[in-house]
Structure 1
C-alpha cells in the first residue's frame, strides 16, 4: 500500500471517529422538517452539513433554508452575554446584574404607572412550552393584561374565520396525506413553492393523480406554474371572486342540500345575497372573466372531493377574516369538509404559528384555546396555576394596538421575545417612534436585531440547535424538537429566562421548572378539556410516534386526523355560513392620481420573516442580498424606470428605496416587494395601520403607492 493510500485511510478514519450527530428540526416555516446536523472535525477544523430525516409531514425533504440553518446558529455575531445600554452603548454584564436591573425597573415602573404599564410581545417561532410560559409569566409574574404576539400579523384572520365558521381553528382540517387523492384544489393567496417548498410534492402528486389545481394570485409564481388555471386577480377583490364562484355553483345546482340543511346555518341569507349580484359587477371588481369564474364553479362544484388552501395573500387584508369566510362558504355549500380528501387548510407561516396561538400568548386567550373572558375557563386555568381567579387579568389588546398604547404612554415598559416588530409591523416608522418612548425596553433574541438595538437590555437566547421543546406544525401535528448542541456562551433558554425573572419578582413557586418536559406536562393539564387538547401527549409518545395531531385527549388516543366528520365545534354542532358583502371593506385602498399602483408584499424562498436569522446565514444572504420592486415592463416604461435601477416607492405612511426587477408575471396595475429587509428597504414602512375588525390583522397585502426613479 502506498503512502498516499495510507494517508487517505488515516484521514478517513480520523474523520469518522470525530463525527457528532445532533437531532433537530428546521427553525423556519410551519413544515418543521426533521433533520440532523452532522459535525465533522478534520484535524483542528470543524465543518457541518445538514441532512433530512424521515417524518410524517415532510418525509425527509429539506429546502435551502433548512440546509443552511446552522449558519446563523453558529455565527460569531450571535449575542452570548447580557447587554446593558449605558450612556447609549451596549456593555456586556453578568446575568446577576441583568436580573437585578429587570427587578428594579419592573418594580419601580409598576409602582408608579400601575401593573398594566408592563407588557409582553411574544412570538410564533418559540416552542409551545415557551409560548405557554410567556402567557403565564405575563399574567402571574407581572400581573398585566397586555400580552400579544407577532402571530397576530400572520395567521389571525384565518384563525378567526375558522373559529367563527367551524367553532375551532386547527390549520388543517385533514392531514397532508389526503392531498394527493383530492380531485380539485383551490390555492387562494398562497405561494407554497417559495414559502413552504417541502410541501410541494403533495400537490405534484395530486396533479399526477388527475387533480385540477386553481391558483388565485395577482402574480405568476412558482406555485401558479403548477396550476391548471391561474386567476390573476385584482388585489383586494377576493370576496367578490368567492361570491361569484358560489353564485355560479348555486345556479348550476351543485349544492349539497342535505349537508347544508343538516350541518350549517345561514345558507338562505348567503344564497339570497350572492344570487342578487350580477356577473358584470364581479368581473369588473376582480378582473377575472365570467368564463373563468364559471369554469372554477363547475369544476369545484361537480367533483366529489375538493380542498381549499388559503394563506397571507387573502388573509393579510383589513377584511381578511371575511375574505376567508367567503371561501369557506364554498366548502360548506358543496359539503366538501369533514370527509376524506375534502377540507380546509390555512397554510401557517411561522414555525410554531399553530401552537403559539393555542396556549395563551394572545390577548384574549388562555391555554387549550380557552377564552380569557369565559368564567369557567378562567377558573380552570387559575386552579392549574395555583392563583385566585380574581387575580387573573382580563383581556388586553392586539399586537399593533399595544404599540398605540405605548405611544399614548399607557404602556411604559415592554418585554419582546424572539420578534422584531419595528420591521414586521405595519406603519413601521410609527412603531419605532413609539418604542423609543418606553421607560424600559427589554429584548430576548439571538442577535442585535433592529428592535434590539433600541433596547435598554438585551438577553441572549438559545437557538433551535440548543433549545428542546415541542412545536405544532402546519397540520396541527405536535412534534418534539430534540436539541443537544452545546449552548453558545452564556445564552439561556427562553423558558429559563422567564423563570429567573419570575424568581426575582417573588413568584418562584409558580415558575420552578427544571426542564421543558416539566413545563409540557403542566401545559398538558392546562389544555385538558380545551379545544386544543394536548393532554394525551407525552415526550415519550412524541418520540415514538414522530408527532401527534391534536386534539389528543388521553394517552390511548391516537390523535385526530380529520376534524368535523360528525359535527362542528359550535355548541349545536353546526357550521356558520357568512353573508359577506363586496363592500365589507369600508376604507378599501383605491388607486388615485397621487398613488396609481397597488402594492402587495410577500416572501422569497431564501429568507424568513424579518431576516434576523437568514440574513446572518452567509449562504442564504448571498442568494438574495437586497429587496426589490417587481414591476411589469410596460408599467415601468410609463414611469420612466429602467430594469435593475433604484426606485423610490412612496405611500401616505412613508417611503423606501429598492431596485427594480422587470417581470411580465405581475399585473400591470400592481407592484410587489418582499418584506425581509430593513431600514430604507423595509416595505412595511409603506403599510397602513388600519386593522381587520375581527382578527386585528393589518393590510399588508393591499396598499397603494407611487414610484419614481431615484
Structure 2
C-alpha cells in the first residue's frame, strides 16, 4: 500500500483512502480521498488553512483522475504540421534525446531550455532545476511562478532579507484589528480563506480592500478603495504620507529595527492626498480613514496579491506597502505584519529549490560562489560546471527560435499558450522551435503544439511535498497507482538524464556539443565537492551520499529526492534540513526555516530580527510612474484581467470538469453600464477587445462593480476569448513580472 494511504472497512466493502491536499491553490486545503472501487470521493478534513472547508474546485478535484481526456501514452509528431500519434516510451525518449543532442551540438548547451510550473511538488521542482543544470548544463530554466509571486518575492528580499509569502500562520489574520487587502480577491480565488476573514470581522476587526473592481471580497469589506489600475503605488505612498503627518509612525520600532526611513519620508512628503486622489480616483477621505485604521490599531496586517504585483512596477508597488507596514511597526508583532497571498499550489516551494533562472535550492543565488560550491557538492559535480543565471520567463519564451535564443524547450506543469502575456507572440515562438516537449496529463493548448507529449502522474497518484502560502511544508500522499503507460516526472527526468549521460555510450556525441561562453572554464570532470564529504547535515533520513555516477544522480523515489533536497537547502535562506516526512506526518506540516530535525520550526518570522546582515529591515524609497502603456484616442480604455471562482489558471484542468464548466462556461468582458450605454452594448452582445498586440472576443457582462473607464476579462479560456492575447508584455526590470493588470484597449461590438 502506498505510504500515507490507509484501509477502512465498511459493511462488506473494502475502502482505501489517503489524507492529502487539494491540487489547486496555495491554501493547500486538507482533504481525504476515498477510493470506493467505482469512483474517488473527496471528503473534508480539518486542517489549519481550510478547517474542513473546500471550494467547488476542491470538491470536484477527483473528477479528472479518470477523465476521458487523460493521457496514458506518449504522443509523437512525425513532421511539422503533422498530427500527434501514439508512440512507445522508447520511441518518444529517443526522439527527445536525439533532438536535444542535435540542437546542443549545433547551437550550444544554452540552446535547450526548461520551463516549469508552480504546481509541481518540491521534489519535482528540485529535480527539474538539477536536471537543467547537471544533465543539460543549460542556464535557461524558469517557470510560470515568475508571473505569480516574483514581484512580491523581490520586494520581500530587499526589505526583509527573505521571501516567504506569509511570515505568519493564516490563523493570524483573525487576530488583526485592521486587515488591508491590496489587489486580492480570495472570495473567488481561495474561498476557504474567507473563514479567517469572517473570524476577524466577528472579533470586531475592520476589513479594507483596495481593488479597481467591487469584487466578491470587496463587497464584504468595511471600506473599499477603487483606484485606477496601475496607481496602487501612489495610494500606498499617500497612506504613508498621512501616517507621517498624523503622527502614526512607530518611531521606536523604526529606530530600533529598520534603516533608511528618512529617505522614504522625504519621498512620500510629495504624495499629498489631494494629488493622489486626482491620480488614482480614491477620495482623500478614504485614504485618511485607511491610514488611521491601520495606524491606530493594536494589530494590523497588510496583504498584497496579483492586483498589486502584476505590473511593470510591481516590485516598487509592493515595496511601497512594505514601507507602510514597517513605518507602522507591524512586521514581527503577533497578529500584525506584511504578507503576500501566493497563488499557485506550490508557488512558494516551487521558487525555493531551483526553478527560477537565478536560484539554486534553498533560495541560494546561483552566482554566489559559496552557494555553488555547496549545491555542487551535494550534486557531485564541479562547481565550475554549473551554468550561470538564465533569463526570466517572458524573455526566455520571447526569444525561442530566434538567433541566440533557445531552439528546444521542455515544458513541465505549465500552459504558456494560454497563460503567457502577449500569448499570440508566445505561440508563434513555440511553433518556431526545433523541438518542443510537453509533460502533462491532459492535452493542453501547449501540448497541442508539441513534437513530443509525455503522459505523467496526477496529484492523487504521487507522493511528495508542497509548501503552502504560509511556508508550511505539507505531504501530498498517493491514493492509488497511475494508469498503465503513465510515468512520474521524476522517472522521466531520471531516464532522460541517463540517456544524456556523457559517460555513457553516446559520450563521443555529447563531447561534440559546442560549449557556450559560460562553459569555457568548465573543463574539469565532475567530482564530489567538499560538502558531499561532510557529515549529513539534514538528519538521519538523508543518509544517501552524494552520488558517484551521473546515472545515479536522479533518484525516482520522491522520499529519496526530498532527502537530497534537505542537504542541498541546508544553511540556505529556505532551510529544509530539519524537515522530514515523518515530522510532517506527525505535526501535519512544518514551517521553514527548520535547520535541525530535533529543533523548532518557524511559524512566525521577524520576532527577534530580520535575516539581513545587520538584522534590520530596509526601507526603500519608491515613486509612482505611469503604466507602460497609456490610453489614447485609438485605445481609450483600461483593460485588466483576473480569475473567476469556478476556474483555475489557464483552465486546462477545470474547463474539463462538468460542474465547473456549468458554473463558468466561457469567457466574458465585464464593463460598466455607463460605458455599455456609450458603446450601445447590451448584456450578452459579442464584443471585440483590441490592444496593440491582439484581440479577444467574448460576450458582454454589464456590472456596476467595475470602473466606467476600465474593462475586465478572466484569463482561463483559450481561443477567441483568450485574455492574454491582449495583455502587455512589458516587464518589471527587477522581477521580470509582466504587466498583466493594465493595458490600453478599445472595445466594440464584434
Q: Deviations over 1:293-330 (max 9, x none)?
A: 11111111111210011100010011011000000111
- How far apart are the structure 1 equivalents of 2:700 and 2:672? 10
User: Which of 448, 451, 454 in structure 2 is aligned with 1:459?
Assistant: 454
Match in the other structure for 2:424: 429
Q: Deviations over 1:44-98 (max 9, x none)?
A: xx24421111222222211100110111222011110011112411111111111
Are residue 626 (structure 1) and residue 666 (structure 2) matched? yes
Shift in Å, 1:20: 3.1
Match in the other structure for 1:651: 691
Are residue 479 (structure 1) and residue 479 (structure 2) matched? no
Q: Which runs of 4+ in 1 moved over 6 A?
A: none
User: Which of 291, 294, 306 in structure 1 is aligned with 2:288?
Assistant: 294
SS at match of 2:460: coil
SS at match of 1:297: helix
Q: Which moved more, 1:361-370 or 1:479-488?
A: 479-488
Q: Deviations over 1:565-589 (max 9, x none)?
A: 1111111111111111122x4x532
- How far apart are the structure 2 equivalents of 1:49 and 1:392? 45
- How far apart are the structure 2 equivalents of 1:293 and 1:660? 32
- How far apart are the structure 2 equivalents of 1:664 and 1:178? 33
- How far apart are the structure 2 equivalents of 1:166 and 1:72? 40
Q: Which moved more, 1:383-392 or 1:482-491?
A: 482-491
**Alignment check: 8 A CA contact 2:241 2:272 kept:** no
5+ residue gaps, structure 2: 1-8, 503-549
TM-score in terms of structure 2 length: 0.91
User: Which of 707, 714, 728 in structure 2 is aligned with 1:688?
Assistant: 728
Q: Deviations over 1:187-235 (max 9, x none)?
A: 0000011001111111100001011111000111111122110001111
**Alignment check: 8 A CA contact 2:24 2:345 kept:** yes
**Alignment check: 8 A CA contact 1:385 1:510 kept:** no
Are residue 25 (structure 1) and residue 21 (structure 2) matched? yes
Match in the other structure for 1:567: 609
User: Which of 682, 687, 695 in structure 2 is aligned with 1:642?
Assistant: 682
**Alignment check: 8 A CA contact 1:24 1:464 kept:** no
Match in the other structure for 2:439: 444
CA RMSD for the aligned pairs? 1.3
Matches within 5 A, 1:39-54: 39-41=35-37, 46-54=38-46
- How far apart are the structure 2 equivalents of 1:319 and 1:694? 9
Match in the other structure for 1:8: none
SS at match of 2:126: helix
SS at match of 1:21: strand
1:657 and 1:16, CA in 2 relative to 1: closer, same or farther beyond 3 A?
Answer: farther
TM-score in terms of structure 1 length: 0.96
Match in the other structure for 1:35: 31
**Alignment check: 8 A CA contact 2:132 2:141 kept:** yes
Q: Deviations over 1:379-411 (max 9, x none)?
A: 111111000011000001011111222142421
**Alignment check: 8 A CA contact 1:154 1:349 kept:** yes
- How far apart are the structure 2 equivalents of 1:495 and 1:512? 8
Match in the other structure for 1:64: 56
User: Which of 88, 103, 106 in structure 1 is aligned with 2:100?
Assistant: 106
Match in the other structure for 1:6: none
User: Which of 585, 592, 599 in structure 2 is aligned with 1:550?
Assistant: 592
Shift in Å, 1:511: 3.0
**Alignment check: 8 A CA contact 1:476 1:550 kept:** yes
- How far apart are the structure 2 equivalents of 1:47 and 1:243? 54
- How far apart are the structure 2 equivalents of 1:155 and 1:463? 24
Match in the other structure for 1:207: 201
Are residue 324 (structure 1) and residue 366 (structure 2) matched? no
Q: Deviations over 1:354-389 (max 9, x none)?
A: 000000000000000000011111111111100001
Length, aligned pairs only: 692
Are residue 303 (structure 1) and residue 285 (structure 2) matched? no
Q: Deviations over 1:481-537 (max 9, x none)?
A: 101322023111111111111011117434341410000000000000000001101
Are residue 537 (structure 1) and residue 579 (structure 2) matched? yes
User: Which of 65, 73, 94 in structure 2 is aligned with 1:73?
Assistant: 65
Are residue 617 (structure 1) and residue 657 (structure 2) matched? yes
- How far apart are the structure 2 equivalents of 1:37 and 1:321? 39
- How far apart are the structure 2 equivalents of 1:128 and 1:21? 23
Shift in Å, 1:37: 2.2
